[in-house]
Amino acid sequence: MLDSGIESHPLEASEIWLVSEWMPHGTLLRYISEESIDAHGKTLLVSQVASAITWIHAHGVAHGDIKAENILVDAKGKARLADFGISSFIDNEYYCYSGGDHGSAVGTTRWMAPERLMPEDFHLGSARPTLESDVYSFAMLICQLYTGLPPLHNIPNDFAFRNLVARRKRRPSRPPEISDELWDVVMRCWSHEPGDRPTMESLNRDIKRKIRGKIAASGHEGNREVAS
C-alpha cells in the first residue's frame, strides 16, 4: 500500500512514501467471508489480533480505532493490525488530531467505548484513546467477526447510539456461533467503567490458554503459532 510519495530529491521533498507489506486477503471480514472461516478459525484470528494489540500497548500506544476494517490478512492468513492514523501515546498529556477539533472523539462511533462517546459523563477532559478504550473496542471487534455486522447495527441514529451505549449501557446480543469462553472475554472487555476492564496482556494470555485447552481436548495439533 502506498500512502504518499517523494517527488524529486528526497532531501527536497515535502512528502515521503509510506510503503507496507502487501496484504493479498484484504480486510479481516473479507477474508472470513471468502475463505468460509469457521468458529474455531475466527477464534484463532481473534488471538492474533489480541497479540498485536498487546504489543502496541506494551510500547505505550493506544490504537483508537480497532475494528475489522482496520485488520488486514497477509498471504499466510495471519491477521495484521493496521491504520494507526489516530493512535496516541498514553503518556502524552495532549490529544490532538489534525482531522478534528482538539480533544474531540475521532474514530468509528460503533466501536467506541462509552467514555469516548460521552467523556463528560466520566469526568474526562477529552475523548482521547486509551488502553482501556482499546479493550472495549476489542470486544466490539469480536462481535463484528461473528456477525459480519457493525455493533448494534439496528440502531440507525448515531445520537441515539451514543445515548444507549454511554448512558443506558446497551451492548450487542450474543452471536450464535461464539463459544462460552470467548463470550466471557467479550463481557469482561465491555465493562462500563474503564478501570473494570482487563488489560490486553491478561486477555491475550487467557485467550491463548483457552485455545490450547480446546486443541488438547479435540486431540488435534492445531495452529502452533497462534496457540503458543
Q: Does domain 23-227 have CATH number 3.40.50.450?
A: no
3-state secondary structure of 165: helix
Per-residue pLDDT, 14: 65
Residues, the chain, total? 228
Per-residue pLDDT, 212: 84
| pLDDT means over runs of 10, the chain (228 residues) | 45 67 93 95 96 96 94 96 74 48 60 96 92 98 96 92 96 95 97 98 96 70 45
Residue 171: CA atoms inside 13 Å, Cβ hemisphere, count? 20
Question: How many whole angstroms separate alpha carbon 109 and alpha carbon 19?
Answer: 28
Per-residue pLDDT, 213: 79
Per-residue pLDDT, 34: 96
Domain residue ranges of the chain, discontinuous segments joined by +: 23-227
Q: Count Cβ atoms within 10 A of the Cβ of residue 67 and give its class: 0-12 exposed, 13-18 middle, 19 or more buried.
A: buried
Per-residue pLDDT, 35: 96
Alpha helices by DSSP H, 66-199: 114-117, 131-147, 158-166, 180-189
Per-residue pLDDT, 99: 39
Per-residue pLDDT, 227: 41
Query: Which residues, at least 6 apart from 119, have a Cβ–Cβ distance to it below 8 Å?
Result: 105, 125, 126, 127
Question: How many whole angstroms separate alpha carbon 209 and alpha carbon 50?
Answer: 13
Question: How many whole angstroms separate alpha carbon 54 and alpha carbon 71?
Answer: 14
Per-residue pLDDT, 126: 87
The DSSP element (H or E) to which 110 belongs, if any, is: none
Per-residue pLDDT, 208: 95
CB 25 within 8 A of CB 31: yes
Question: How many whole angstroms separate alpha carbon 107 and alpha carbon 183?
Answer: 25
